[in-house]
A and B are shown apart, each in its own frame.
Chain A
Amino acid sequence: MQELVNRAGELLADGSVARVLGWKAGDLSYNPEPAYFENAEALEQFVYNGFCGANLSKYMIEASKLEGKTLVFLKPCDTYSFSQLLKEHRVDRDKAWIIGVGCHGKLDIERIREQGIKGIELVQEEEDSLKIQTLYGEKELPYQSVMLERCYVCKGKEHRIYDELIGESKETDTGERFAGVAEVEAMSPEEKFAFFQRELSKCIRCNACRNVCPACSCRKCVFDSNKFDSAQKVNVDSFEEKMFHIIRAFHVAGRCTDCGECSRVCPQGIPLHLFNRKFIKDINELYGTFQAGEDLETKGPLTNFTFEDAEPGIVAERG
């Protein structure tokens, strides 16, 4: 971490960048938050630890409008989002100084709590384990057991776009990316319906998923405009929460890098990535493997076609 702070200090000092976009300590030890740093003094607040899951790419949309370059720290998976935004002309490459940071997988406080650990005061990261100081004494957990869902299905620790790299990474993908989707797919229609009904009825339309999503970066969301007579701040009826999530997933289909931020930030714990990943799975199966943000050239699957594409009837044929 100190290496990052030092380098940021250097770049600020020599005027290469006008500001630094990173993470600063939050009010609790496990909730650092995205922040701008404009001088060395401010950088004292900088942190980079296992809880810095937040993907900073989206902030670069606004940062691109500011004077001068912005130094941004991007984890490997964040760079997919950045290059997707670049492909969509949403960020300005010339306004960004990208330092690719290493990643050992990011931690999920909810999983830690699920282990029965309460009253958390401080989390210390060791090589392969976590030492957790709580009101009830010190607890230890294997690091790999309490990561964010997305880290178990990590796309790889290679940065897609950067100016320089700092820090080592560690592979963490031990899971099956589409297992969750396949599990739902295997259900009967009644079970599927009940499953999503249960999950989506928790939605409070706080829009956290939308606000954090680097693909959901419209200046004004359709659900906030009158373009479809669909402006809504809360769900008028029980259908609208489904409508919102289906349309949100559809709008980011072919553009979603599967960064998993939506699920991370959902205060209700809805596994929102199951929507996006369903589209990714279908796209991969029907139109060939595609990873949004992997490069700047490949046409997105929904702005592309082949003459031999499957007919919509395939949905029924697949059963």
Chain B
Amino acid sequence: MSRVQRIGVFVCHCGSNIAATVDVTKVAEMARLEQGVVHAEEYQYMCSEAGQAKIAEAIKEKDLTGIVVCSCSPRMHETTFRNAVERAGINPYMVEIANIREHCSWIHKNKAEGTEKAIILAKAAIAKVNLNAPLKPGESRVTKRALVIGGGIAGIQTALDIAEAGYKVDIVEKTPSIGGRMSQLDKTFPTLDCSACILTPKMVEASAHENIRIFTYSEVEQVSGFVGDFTVDIRKKARSVDMDKCTGCGVCSEKCPAKKNASEFNRGLGNRSAIYTPFAQAIPNVPVIDRENCIKFKTGKCGVCSKVCQAGAVDYEQQDEIITEKYGAIVAATGFDTIKLDDFDEYAYSQSKDVITSLELERVMNAAGPTAGHLERLSDGKAPRNIVFIQCVGSRDCTNRGKPYCSKICCMYTAKHAMLIRDKYPDVKVTVFYIDVRTPGKNFDEFYRRAVEDYGVNYVKGQVGKVAPQPDGSLMVQGVDMLDNKQIRMEADMVVLATAIEPEAGVRKIATMLTASIDNNNFLTEAHPKLRPVESPTAGVFLSGVCQGPKDIPETVAQAGAAAVKAIGLLAKNKLLTNPCTATTDELLCNGCSACENVCPYGAITYEDREVNDHGIREVRRIAAVNNALCQGCGACTVTCPSGAMDLQGFSNRQIIAEVDAICR
């Protein structure tokens, strides 16, 4: 079956990543003793051009037929090496990777142990390559439609860019309107233009674009399939208002008697009715009934909104609807929220209404916000005279209270807030407690310096240890000025916390559905931190905005565009080469029993009556036939087949057994 292989083994140092805990020379030495190995060498960076050249050279000189690279995870560079050997003239599927970095050098400290394990992993890979056979990829189709999950600025921008390139794109947004966090902001740094003024046109453009469909108040329910051919179930939650009939007149919200529901849009600082549009510029401008707080849904009596609606759009009977659609590419743009402050009781956030988060301050400063844009204390409506800003609340905190990362946007928005307040209310004293002021970015540091130099914001290097509400309603702030080496006790009437941001709560569920990687902080992982920053390791899934890591608006928009380009690049293809690691039948062993057909999730197995020549016996037999375009190579059939007639190319029974044997030897 398999001819005798001539195998080359290439051991990568990965700088010191591998070489520090694995004796790479020894690995190469031991590999040389294995069956089929005719060449073994080590090199600093196998994935570098020079490293790849070494492989190509060895292939030529020693007429290699199989390659083992002992390096990082195959999820990282398998394709690199496959391409490299293909250029050197051998089939790319003759490469196997021994993962001696993620699965070895990075987790073991003892060099002897690490080396021993690396040798065994190399032996297993060599044993497998001995049984490898050249494979040829098939082709699969590309559905020319993209899905964007999340309708914030990231999702909107990605969708617009994809739509402009001429491809259909759907946005799924879980809240009743697109717009996201940016719609909650008042002004944007460093230019101080009004957030709504620059966002609203984009929202309108997206909603009017012929290539864009927007599903608001909807969530992704299920994702199946693979790059180029995803099938997604979208749950359109019952809005209780007919989108086609509603004219957006707003009378229903006005007349709704259930008015005292915390407004999500205003971060709970104001109220909304039970039938509501989250904000004036909402898109679509169609209200939704919050069934939990609606009197009609709670008691069965009321129905005011239905009575006042001229268009007859209110529909209490509306049900959730599941829409199933096919997509070629999926972009995650799920965004962020601020962390809960329950564990930071030293800042008295839960005790005093006058201690607020920066995002809440955005609403307070906004003309459409709960105070109509007047800066006032939420406890008594009085104008504050002393405002203290506290930076890094929960950011850069490696205890379990906070987040270990820098939230990146706080330094700039705090400078913005301080500046705006000093500009509008010159009598108000503003003090900012900071650990470091981090303002890299175009015109960013200039902006921060302006807050200090032109607007007289008092920046204090140090942290706040305690905020204590006083009987007179003021707040005692105790902090430290590390440069003066003094503890400061000052009275304030408002404290603003630069609260850490974290990925939106539902992202883990979405990552799971997409089989996209997610890190310990719930940020979606990029395929490569430098070189593939907008792609997820899962093919066909791209990342846009804060779901991948903290970033400000310009960065988000830039990344959204980059994600769009990647998606467009995929959609532009008519066909994708498919994984050639598909199932095959040995016609002489097949019983024709249909067991494999029963477990195949893709319907890739059918049966045909075929004449076979079984060692001289010619007869027509019922034999399983695999459709390579449909087969995804899971291997379910191979285990259900009792005779072993069904096998998986690239992960054959004998290959896996060879690996098992090599490990247990």
Contact = CB atoms under 8 A, between A and B. Distances in A.
Let me know if chains A and B touch directly in the complex, using CB atoms closer than 8 Å.
yes
Interface of A: 65, 88-90, 217-222, 225-229, 251-252, 299-300, 302-304
A219 to B, nearest CB: 6
Nearest to B619: A65
Contacts of B607: 89
A88 B593 contact: yes
A228 B591 contact: no
B592 A89 contact: yes
Contacts of B588: 219-220
B382 interface: no
Given A227-B653, A303-B599, A88 B594 contact: yes
Given A65-B619, A228-B657, A229-B657, A303 B589 contact: no
Given A89-B622, A299-B598, A303-B599, A227 B592 contact: no
A219 B595 contact: no
B640 interface: yes
Interface stretch (B269-277, B478-486, B496-504, B642-650): B642-650
Nearest to B644: A227
A89 B647 contact: no
B591 A88 contact: yes
Contacts of A228: 644, 653-654, 657
A223 B599 CA distance: 23
Contact of B589 (A89, A217, A225, A229): A225
B586 interface: yes
Contact of A302 (B589, B592, B640): B640
Contacts of B590: 219
10 closest Cβ pairs, A-B complex? A227-B644, A303-B598, A218-B643, A251-B642, A88-B593, A222-B644, A228-B653, A303-B599, A89-B592, A229-B657
B654 A227 contact: yes
Contacts of A252: 642
A228 B589 CA distance: 13
A interface secondary structure, majority: loop
Contact of A218 (B589, B622, B640, B654): B589
B599 A221 contact: no
Nearest to B607: A89
Contact of A90 (B586, B592, B614, B653): B592
Given A90-B592, A90-B593, A222-B643, 10 more contacts: A89-B592, A217-B591, A218-B589, A218-B642, A219-B643, A227-B586, A228-B644, A229-B657, A299-B598, A303-B599
Contacts of B622: 89
Interface in B552-604: 586, 588-595, 598-599
A227 B598 contact: no
B591 A227 contact: no
Given A90-B592, A218-B591, A219-B591, A229 B643 contact: no
Contacts of A226: 654
A300 B594 CA distance: 11
21 contacts: A88-B591, A89-B607, A89-B622, A90-B591, A90-B592, A217-B591, A218-B643, A219-B589, A219-B591, A219-B614, A220-B588, A220-B643, A225-B589, A225-B643, A225-B644, A228-B644, A229-B657, A302-B640, A303-B595, A303-B599, A303-B640
A81 B525 CA distance: 53
A88 B658 CA distance: 31
Interface in B617-663: 619, 622, 640, 642-645, 647, 653-654, 657-658, 661
B42 to A, nearest CB: 31
Contacts of A225: 589, 643-644
Nearest to A87: B594
Contacts of B642: 218, 222, 251-252
Greatest chain A CB density within 10 A among B590, B594, B644 is at B644
A89 B594 contact: yes
Contact of B598 (A218, A219, A300): A300
B91 to A, nearest CB: 23
Nearest to A251: B642
Contacts of A88: 591, 593-595
A300 B599 CA distance: 10
Contacts of A219: 588-591, 614, 643
Contacts of B593: 88-90
A251 B592 CA distance: 15
A53 to B, nearest CB: 25
A220 B591 CA distance: 9
Contacts of B644: 222, 225, 227-228
A15 B621 CA distance: 27
A162 to B, nearest CB: 23
B132 to A, nearest CB: 15
A4 to B, nearest CB: 31
Interface in B396-438: none
Contacts of B661: 229
A225 B593 CA distance: 18
A252 B643 CA distance: 11
A45 to B, nearest CB: 29
A302 to B, nearest CB: 7
Contacts of B619: 65
A221 B622 CA distance: 18
A229 B586 CA distance: 15
Interface string B297-323: 000000000000000000000000000
A219 B619 CA distance: 13
A221 B595 contact: no
B131 to A, nearest CB: 10
Nearest to B652: A227
A229 B614 CA distance: 21
Nearest to B661: A229
Interface string B523-556: 0000000000000000000000000000000000
A14 to B, nearest CB: 29
A25 to B, nearest CB: 32
A220 B642 CA distance: 10
A226 B645 CA distance: 11
Contacts of A229: 654, 657-658, 661
Greatest chain B CB density within 10 A among A65, A227, A229, A302 is at A227
A225 B657 CA distance: 14
B130 to A, nearest CB: 12
Nearest to B593: A88
B589 A227 contact: yes
A88 B643 CA distance: 14
Nearest to A304: B598
A245 B89 CA distance: 46
Interface string B1-36: 000000000000000000000000000000000000
B605 to A, nearest CB: 12
A70 B62 CA distance: 62
A224 to B, nearest CB: 10
Contacts of A217: 591
A164 B586 CA distance: 39
Contacts of B591: 88, 90, 217-219
A220 B654 contact: no
Greatest chain B CB density within 10 A among A65, A220, A225, A252 is at A220
A251 B642 CA distance: 5
A249 B593 CA distance: 17
A222 B641 CA distance: 10
A231 to B, nearest CB: 11
Contacts of B586: 227
A218 B642 CA distance: 7
A227 B661 CA distance: 15
A227 B657 CA distance: 10
Contacts of A302: 640
A227 B648 CA distance: 11
A209 B640 CA distance: 21
B15 to A, nearest CB: 39
